[in-house]
Amino acid sequence: MSLKIKVPLVVTLLVVLSAAAVGYFLISHEQNTLQEELSRRGQLLVQQLAGIDPASFNAIATEAERIRLTDSLELSSSYFENERVIRTFLTEALGSPHVLHAAFFDWDGFPVLYLDAARLTELEEVSEDDSAGESFSLLQHPDSIPSVLAEPDDGFTYVAPILARSDTLGFAQIRIDPGVLERAISDALMNVLPILAGILGASILLSLLFSMLFTVPVSKLKSHALALSKGELAARVKVRSRDELGVLGRVFNKMAHNLQRTYDELSEKLIEVRRLFKMATEDGLTGLYVKQYFLELLSGELRRSIRYDRPLSFFMCDIDHFKRVNDTYGHQAGDAVLRSVARRLSAATREGIDVIGRYGGEEFAVMLPEMDAGTAWQVAERLRNAVSAEPISLAEVEGVNVSEITVTISIGTTTIREETSVERLIAVADRALYMSKENGRNRSTVLAMER
């Protein structure tokens, strides 16, 4: 068998095997990625479902237990009001893609409320009739609910406890359609097969057209192209001929050169964009966020907290008698004080979670996501003590006759308890700060938001 026949056969076989391997790994990767995404979404959905009002759920679970023990479906007048409080959690969960059912179980694992597509349709129909909607309930006799806690164990059922402090009041369950994964893999396979067939046909055609004369230069060109695709932008082909392969080599080298130049230009622009972004969002003196950007972050976090019914605490901090520092020691000393206070506030808060901004001249604002009022007051005290615990060095400030001074801060703190606006949140914290100033400074004041 001649080399002209062997080369096409070998190349064709290698291409087919490589394409099959790539197809297999692509499908496997797609399967693993989708499985992880479904698991992540299932865990997120069930955690959101478990975030219902504990008091309302406890009342419904108690009513369900009474029905199970007495075999009576007569519901108390307060039951429907409690169910309406948490019914939206079930409908929102079922409205997510590929969710088969959402259910609640009591502390003993008995079903309490169950909602699937059929029940959701029935719920939407009766909701159009106000009189029927007032008495319609998702509560059924436990034996009639086709759901078992945490079963089947196939990786598509997710359960989360419903907690009230350290007590488990019950469980929330989300069931995702297992057929989603099978359909996705089937679609991926149908997409890969035409590609594999195309690769096979192209490899046979190209292998028959090219002979041993072109095998070596094409192989070198291929190796350089692979190196370029992996980010080795300095890869170049040695051009020795004036034929089509030589033209291809010169085109490749020009493309690689253009890619290198474009990459260098983009790198320079990226550095400039990062520099401009830092200038626009960070205070040049303290390194904290500027007021405008901080308020944008606060607005986004406030919307998230309200949407998911999560706590959000907010501080307004002010350096006590800061004007006296500037008047006595000069503005350079005042700048040193601002930098030191900013560093101490940053060190005393949670890195990557809490956000600090320079709100005004000597005012700082602190945003603390996922923090309730009790914990927020403890953190406020920690911030206050962090500032006043040690003197601030002025040794490197020219024209100052003292080596160090001690400053204090006053803090006003509040925590959202209901839907509110950024302006109202800041106003309440600012009023709490004013109370700290009025009561002698160097103190933290908590002011609850009025309902």
Q: Among all residues, which ones are annotated catalytic?
A: 362
Helix (H) or strand (E) holding 142: none
Bridge partner list, 105 = 111, 171
Residue type, 7: V
For residues 296 and 300, what is the distance between their CA atoms, to the nearest angstrom? Answer: 6
Please give the Cα distance from 94 to 174 (Å, whole number). 9
CA-to-CA dists, residue 48 to 94, 102, 120, 303, angstroms: 12, 11, 19, 16
Which residue is it, tokens 């029940």?
119
Distance (Å, whole) CA 52 – CA 90: 10
User: What is the distance in angstroms between the CA of the first residue and the CA of the last residue of the chain?
Assistant: 90
Q: ∠ at Cα 411 (409, 416), nearest 5°?
A: 160
* Residue 101 to residue 120: CA distance in whole angstroms: 10
Residue 227 class from Cβ within 10 Å (0-12 exposed, 13-18 middle, 19+ buried)?
middle
The tokens for 397 are: 């400030």
Q: Phi and psi at residue 161, in whole multiples of 5°?
A: -75, 150
Alpha-helix runs per DSSP H in 50-139:
54-70, 77-94, 117-127, 130-135
**Residues 297, 299, 304, 310, CA torsion sign:** positive
C-alpha to C-alpha distance for 313 and 385, rounded to whole angstroms: 19
The SS3 of residue 129 is: coil
**Please, which residues have CB within 8 angstroms of residue 234's CB and are 6 or more apart in sequence?**
256, 260
| Amino acid letter, 284 | G
